[in-house]
Each structure stands twice: as structure tokens, then as C-alpha cells.
Amino acid sequence: MPVIPLKPSDSSIAFGQQMKAGIVESDRRLLHIDDNAGVLVQYNDEKTFLDFLRTRYLPFSRARECVVIHALLKDVASSSFYKQYESLFEGIIDFKSEEQENKLQHYVRVRSLRGRGYDSRWRRLRLLDNGEVTIAD
């Protein structure tokens, strides 16, 4: 996935041109992780960002058959924005951290997954000595 400038209009035309020209095989079926989509919200109004996602970014990602993971912190935007933002994606995964007994515990859950069944219970994450992360029983 190309680097997206802070202003969506700067990449919008390029995405459209690439889709018209056809997606080359080496650009297909990739994983893109955006660790803080909130940065784009800070530099753009909410409507501009949502329109860019809806009309350019997500169609471009789907044409490339990419898996896209966007992280967005709470309280960066309006509640209306979050509802619209979440409606654009196939699934929503929540993460949270809590301090328990002077230890920081991390949790994950699937909040929604379009068209599939899922277990929405919070699951505790565990960091193994080798650096891998597992779901604790």
C-alpha cells in the first residue's frame, strides 16, 4: 500500500488512476497495518476523511485484494464519526489494557464481523518469552 499523504486529495487521483490502469499482480493480496489513523483525522475534517475512505481508499484496497487493519484511538473524533467509520469495515476488533494487581493486562475481542459468526468475549493476551502473543485460557 502506498504511503498516504496527510491530505487525502493528494493521493485520491493516484488511486483512481491505478485502478483504471489495472492492478499489477505484485501489488495484490498484501497486508497493510495503519497503526494510527487518528493522525489523518487530526489533519482533515471528519467528512473529508470518511469520503476519502469510502470513495478511494477502500475500493482501491479491495481491488488489490488487500487486508487492511486500521487502528483508531477513542476520543480522537466525534461519536458520529466513529459510527460512520466503523460501518465502512468488514469487522471491528477492540483492544484494551487494564491494571490488575499491579500488572498491566491486555485484552482483545471481536466486536463485529460482517457475514460471519464470532465470539465477542474479551480474551486476555499473553506475551511469550519468544516475543509471540497468544490468547490466554
Mean of the pLDDT values across residues 8-35? 85
Which residue reads 496527510 in cell numbers? Answer: 6
The per-residue pLDDT for 3 is 55
Which residue reads 460471519 in cell numbers? Answer: 116
Write down the domain spans for the chain.
Answer: 1-89, 91-137
Closest CA to 19 of 31, 28, 6, 30: 28
Q: How confident is the model at residue 6 (pLDDT cuts 50, 70, 90)?
A: low
